Structure 1
Amino acid sequence: MDILPYFESNRSSLAERYRLEDSQVRELFGSHPGEARSWEDRAAYLDDTAGGRADLRRVAEAVKAYHRKLPAHAETDKALEKLEREGALVVVGGQQAGLFGGALLIYYKALSVIQAAREAERRLNRPVVPVFWIAGEDHDFDEANHVNVQTPGGEVRRVRIERPEGPRLAVSRTPLSAEQWADALRELAAQLPDTEFKPQLLDRLQSHVTDAPSLSLAFARLLADWFGKQGLLLLDADDPNLRALEGPMFRELISRSDELEEALKAGEGRVLAQGFKLQAETAPGSANLFLHHEQGRLLLHKDAGRFVDRRGVVSLSREEMLELTAHRPDLLSTNALTRPLMQDYLLPVLGTVLGPSEIAYWAILGPAFGEFGMRMPLLLPRQSFTYIEPAVAGLLDKYSLTVQQAIEDWETLRAEWLGSQDEWNLEEQFRRVKEQFAALYEPVMNTVSGLQPGLARLAESNRDRIVEQISYLESRSVDAIAKRHESSLRQWDRIRQSLTPLAKLQERVYGTIHFWNRYGPGWLTLWHDVPFDPAGGHRLVGGWPHPTER
């Protein structure tokens, strides 16, 4: 296995400066995983404040009930037992569900959660459980309903499930039919290249959806397959058993909604004062809560002492909202800014694994945590990777490219390579022809312009048309050179389609199943051997499987 750091080009971003332990940025968060003392201090704080959180035994019972719907593993049972122990801590990472596992970055986030929990357990010599928080309460179905794979022809193809007609419900509350799942699996089978691993992959995915589950539940089952033997616990933020335990925190969020709004604005001011742009600006009057309604998941705002939605579907008094916290907490839902607070109320969160954008919006949350008597957990940057396929590694060597060059400057380098194949020096020849033509034509233009003023414009138009025709011949000649080297240019395209499909990092486009199909389930388990780096950062990983193992 070959592992090399990839040096980010945007080293001034808030998330990257946090990752590199910039002292100024660190003030926004209060701690950093790069310091051993931060882990110990957070653990001691959680011990001291255990009474202010939800009953962990009841939380563990809810998680245990959820796992009865998922593939079972002995290691998961051990993790559930560990969660119930006195003094247990957790490392959490979350993501909205993704069809058939979604993009690679989700796999890497779950891997990061597991690795961080193991690292914390080693450091602190006490039980630390990895927990993956599925944001099933989110209603943006279009973010969850697809996965990208590479077709046999090398194109990126999106496989998706369309949202059923009707209100925009939470993803976990959006029913899907057996026919929709069958259609999605047929489309996936049609788009994936045929490999020795494909039949088993499709059979396993089929086993997860025979009962036509929600997108969130099918996603959880797949993650349980991938990480159950690593002891990863899964929970759905929209699980009614968990919601039943969240009423007291919802009550606080509603009772102190104005104070929360002020705290968030104060947090925004701190970020702006350091010269950063806001990842997402809070809306004036926002309640930072949603209401689950038959008309969909409704974002609530405050208006004249009432909680309303923008479409005028609901209007609830503060007392009515508080009544929901006691009797129907399942109708309430956090947003991106209150979910971290709820997460800390529900679980003893030692650290939370976040991607760059998440770190950027968490930067405003320090005052909000303080307002509710909490401290922000350790923020652990998600492990980020680009996988170098064996065939692509060979092509990089063939064209004397580094991975960083191929990622950041592919178009320029490809054009330069193609230009170097021009043994006729066409660019120079056509440049000289254009210059010679312009010199020969200038006296004619001067002469006809003197004969009649109107002829000057005609002469210019005539000149431009001739130059245009010369340029056309030049472009056709360049195309002819490209045609002669079509096979090599396809190899250049293969490099790009692997490393930066759709001009994005690999982990943000391809689904994990793309590589599972190509290299088999062993490819998934090999990631467990990649060393954990608490500071995160992007790394290049290659050297396996060996070409003879494919």
Structure 2
Amino acid sequence: MNGITEALRSGSRLAEDYICSRDAARGLYEYDIRWESGLQARAEWLDQSENTRIDRRDLAEYLRIYNKRVNDHGEVHASITRLAEQDALVVTGGQQSGLLTGPLFVIYKAASVVAAAREAEERLQRPVVPLFWIAGEDHDWDEVNHTYLPDHLGDMKKVKLQGRFAGRDSVSNVHVDTQQWMNVLEQVEHLLPDTIHKPGLMKCITEIHQSSSNLSDAFARMISALFASSGLVLMDASDPDLRRLEQPVFERLIRKNEVLRSAYTQGASLVQQAGYAMPAEVAEDGANLFYIHEGTRLLLLLKDGLYSDRKGLVSFSEERLLQELGEHPERFSNNVLTRPLMQDSVLPVAAVILGQGEIAYWGLTREAFRQFGLQMPILLPRLSFTIMEDIHHKHMKQYGLSFQDVQYHMEEKKEQWLAQQETFQVDEQFDKVQEAFLDLYGPLLDEIAEIHPGLERIGDTNLSKINEQMQYLKQQTHKAIEDKHNVSLRHWNGIQNSLFPTGKPQERVHNALFYLNRYGTEWIDELIKASSEFLGEHKVIAL
């Protein structure tokens, strides 16, 4: 799939410098972004460190059971069989579960995992399995319970899973009933235009959600519907069966907690010394682990030999915490700093696909990997796209707009265009009238003030009201001109809402359902087949 490279603004200078291989950032990571140079070395290290990870046969058995439930496809089971082989490696990436898969970038991240695994397998001539893990352990319900679709005018509408969840339990543990799903699907049905793909798409997502009791399961089945034929294996990080496998890793995280805290502090110092803002909090008393207590996910602190949360709801000695882990491993989960260590203690990771924010906070972890007896894997920035539909491309040419104009100067360009459409210069004409009025009215007010002091106050009030009315008339004149050009302004708004809705990149707002409804699923396969370079470039593509 051909595309035009366009710069896309980023919120992380550290990630941008890593992608550009600048020395200040490069020293915080194990491998260079040009991953082919380190791929063989990484594979050799993984071969030598097989005993540092959980038994891959146990892992494969767990994955067979989980994927049979939510991702049951022959290609997926073939991938799991290959993963059980001693020389098999993994390319992985993950995301918290989102409603109807969430923003488009989630689709691009999963496509990146598949494409990078194929490329690595070709280069290494050994099995490399694509695996996507779902961060069902995350507890920010308000962040994942909605998504966005355009209406028939192109305006973005929020599709939300109704029902208030006030707790802080893991998303995978929040029950969603059938009526809640049906309310979401009714919103989708209303927003999606009729196309040849719509009946099959609605049937598919309806069946998925009717068979799902929580957001993580529905998310997994949605990803499966799009990627199972590529052999993409799925894993829910909050699955109790997985937690039982991870129990020895959590034990090591607890026993080495002091050492790891020191390593993260050192990582934070190196990031700051290199001149970067802190990408994630590194608390001096942070244990970098969560404990689930009565449906609430609590971040643990370590102080004076005790593991406790900030509110004092729980408190454990190390011995008691280890006992709790042995009895209830499902009550434990990682934070953003220990999740990379868990991932590499479970999977033989050749490379990991990350967003720019993730690349930044991984810059804190290199020393922690070493202290844990691991090595930071190769980090690859996920694929990044803006889908340019023909109608918006046509309108951009019509109004002389570039992609960067839309990204940075849209309002300014629109105002300039509007001003060029009218010979009547609203602001200039009203300014002239107001100036002439004051020239006539000002002296009159001075004269009547001499007749009686009270007239000065009445005159000032009168002048203020006249100015307000003139401003109102000016606003109404601007509005009339806008109404006169309403069709063209809808073109401008359509461009904005398609490419940078609410001022954000398309891939961070739009849901994939709009494009699946319009173009089917083939474009996802094309993305995977056409992608072999992971250099952090942003592509504008046409479907």
TM-score under structure 2 length normalisation: 0.94
Matched with 2:115 is 115
Matched with 1:15 is 15
Instruction: For 1:158 and 1:408, locate their aligned partners in 2 and report how far apart those are by CA, in whole Å.
Output: 24
Q: More displaced, 9-18 or 350-359?
A: 9-18
8 Å Cα contact 1:164/1:176 also seen in 2:
no
Amino acid at match of 1:522: E
Q: Flag the 1:358–1:71 CA change in 2: closer, same or farther, 3 A.
A: closer
Matched with 1:501 is 501
Matched with 2:128 is 128
Instruction: For 2:10 and 2:98, locate their aligned partners in 1 and report how far apart those are by CA, in whole Å.
Output: 28
1:106 Cα offset (Å): 0.4
Q: What secondary structure, in the 3-state scheme, does the structure 1 residue paired with 2:38 have?
A: helix
Count residues in correspondence: 543
Instruction: For 1:246 and 1:71, locate their aligned partners in 2 and report how far apart those are by CA, in whole Å.
Output: 22
1:228 Cα offset (Å): 1.0
Q: Flag the 1:36–1:249 CA change in 2: closer, same or farther, 3 A.
A: same
Matched with 2:487 is 487
Deviations 1:217-246 (A, max 9, x none): 111111111011111111111122221221
Matched with 2:257 is 257
Instruction: For 1:286 and 1:311, locate their aligned partners in 2 and report how far apart those are by CA, in whole Å.
Output: 14
Instruction: For 1:196 and 1:423, locate their aligned partners in 2 and report how far apart those are by CA, in whole Å.
Output: 46
1:531 Cα offset (Å): 2.9
Deviations 1:95-125 (A, max 9, x none): 0011121110100000111111122122222
Matched with 1:373 is 373
Matched with 1:534 is 534
Matched with 2:422 is 422
Matched with 1:171 is 171
Q: More displaced, 100-109 or 427-436?
A: 427-436
Matched with 2:88 is 88
8 Å Cα contact 1:264/1:364 also seen in 2:
yes
Q: What secondary structure, in the 3-state scheme, does the structure 1 residue paired with 2:287 have?
A: strand
Matched with 2:248 is 248
Q: Flag the 1:10–1:190 CA change in 2: closer, same or farther, 3 A.
A: closer
Q: What secondary structure, in the 3-state scheme, does the structure 1 residue paired with 2:210 have?
A: coil
Deviations 1:183-213 (A, max 9, x none): 3222322333333322211110122133343
Matched with 1:323 is 323
Q: Flag the 1:268–1:242 CA change in 2: closer, same or farther, 3 A.
A: same
Instruction: For 2:521 and 2:539, locate their aligned partners in 1 and report how far apart those are by CA, in whole Å.
Output: 22
8 Å Cα contact 1:11/1:17 also seen in 2:
no
Q: Flag the 1:445–1:265 CA change in 2: closer, same or farther, 3 A.
A: farther
8 Å Cα contact 1:46/1:348 also seen in 2:
yes
8 Å Cα contact 2:91/2:129 also seen in 1:
yes
Deviations 1:309-333 (A, max 9, x none): 2333322221122223434322211
1:46 Cα offset (Å): 1.2
Amino acid at match of 1:13: R
Matched with 1:144 is 144
Instruction: For 2:331 and 2:313, locate their aligned partners in 1 and report how far apart those are by CA, in whole Å.
Output: 15
Structure 1 unaligned regions, length at least 5: 545-550
8 Å Cα contact 2:35/2:380 also seen in 1:
no
8 Å Cα contact 2:133/2:235 also seen in 1:
yes
Matched with 1:547 is none
Instruction: For 2:10 and 2:175, locate their aligned partners in 1 and report how far apart those are by CA, in whole Å.
Output: 41
1:448 Cα offset (Å): 5.9
Aligned-pair Cα RMSD in Å? 2.3
Instruction: For 1:12 and 1:238, locate their aligned partners in 2 and report how far apart those are by CA, in whole Å.
Output: 28
Q: More displaced, 501-510 or 202-211?
A: 202-211
Instruction: For 1:174 and 1:10, locate their aligned partners in 2 and report how far apart those are by CA, in whole Å.
Output: 33
Q: What secondary structure, in the 3-state scheme, does the structure 1 residue paired with 2:63 have?
A: helix
8 Å Cα contact 1:515/1:523 also seen in 2:
no
1:446 Cα offset (Å): 5.7
Matched with 2:285 is 285
Please say if 1:27 is aligned against 2:27: yes
Matched with 2:97 is 97
Instruction: For 1:70 and 1:252, locate their aligned partners in 2 and report how far apart those are by CA, in whole Å.
Output: 31
Amino acid at match of 1:199: P
Matched with 2:334 is 334
Instruction: For 2:524 and 2:116, locate their aligned partners in 1 and report how far apart those are by CA, in whole Å.
Output: 18
Amino acid at match of 2:497: Q
Matched with 2:77 is 77
Q: More displaced, 179-188 or 532-541?
A: 179-188
Amino acid at match of 1:141: W
Matched with 1:196 is 196
8 Å Cα contact 1:288/1:337 also seen in 2:
yes
Alignment of 1:52-63 (within 5 A): 52-63=52-63
Instruction: For 2:74 and 2:314, locate their aligned partners in 1 and report how far apart those are by CA, in whole Å.
Output: 46
Matched with 2:160 is 160
Q: Flag the 1:9–1:136 CA change in 2: closer, same or farther, 3 A.
A: closer
Amino acid at match of 1:59: L
8 Å Cα contact 2:151/2:191 also seen in 1:
yes
Structure 2 unaligned regions, length at least 5: none
Q: What secondary structure, in the 3-state scheme, does the structure 2 residue paired with 1:526 have?
A: helix
1:485 Cα offset (Å): 0.9
Q: What secondary structure, in the 3-state scheme, does the structure 1 residue paired with 2:193 have?
A: coil
8 Å Cα contact 1:248/1:325 also seen in 2:
no
Matched with 2:360 is 360
Q: More displaced, 327-336 or 126-135?
A: 327-336
Amino acid at match of 1:102: G
Q: More displaced, 70-79 or 447-456?
A: 447-456
8 Å Cα contact 2:114/2:528 also seen in 1:
no
8 Å Cα contact 2:21/2:33 also seen in 1:
no
Matched with 2:239 is 239
Q: Flag the 1:357–1:372 CA change in 2: closer, same or farther, 3 A.
A: same
8 Å Cα contact 1:115/1:532 also seen in 2:
yes
Instruction: For 1:11 and 1:312, locate their aligned partners in 2 and report how far apart those are by CA, in whole Å.
Output: 35
8 Å Cα contact 2:141/2:165 also seen in 1:
no
Instruction: For 1:211 and 1:479, locate their aligned partners in 2 and report how far apart those are by CA, in whole Å.
Output: 50
Amino acid at match of 2:138: D
Q: Flag the 1:120–1:356 CA change in 2: closer, same or farther, 3 A.
A: same
Deviations 1:52-92 (A, max 9, x none): 11111211111111110124333222211221122211111
Instruction: For 1:416 and 1:352, locate their aligned partners in 2 and report how far apart those are by CA, in whole Å.
Output: 45
Q: More displaced, 154-163 or 211-220?
A: 154-163
Instruction: For 1:413 and 1:236, locate their aligned partners in 2 and report how far apart those are by CA, in whole Å.
Output: 46
Alignment of 1:294-305 (within 5 A): 294-305=294-305
Instruction: For 1:424 and 1:288, locate their aligned partners in 2 and report how far apart those are by CA, in whole Å.
Output: 64
Q: What secondary structure, in the 3-state scheme, does the structure 2 residue paired with 1:209 have?
A: helix
8 Å Cα contact 2:299/2:309 also seen in 1:
yes
Q: Flag the 1:13–1:457 CA change in 2: closer, same or farther, 3 A.
A: farther
Please say if 1:435 is aligned against 2:396: no
8 Å Cα contact 2:71/2:234 also seen in 1:
no
1:449 Cα offset (Å): 6.7
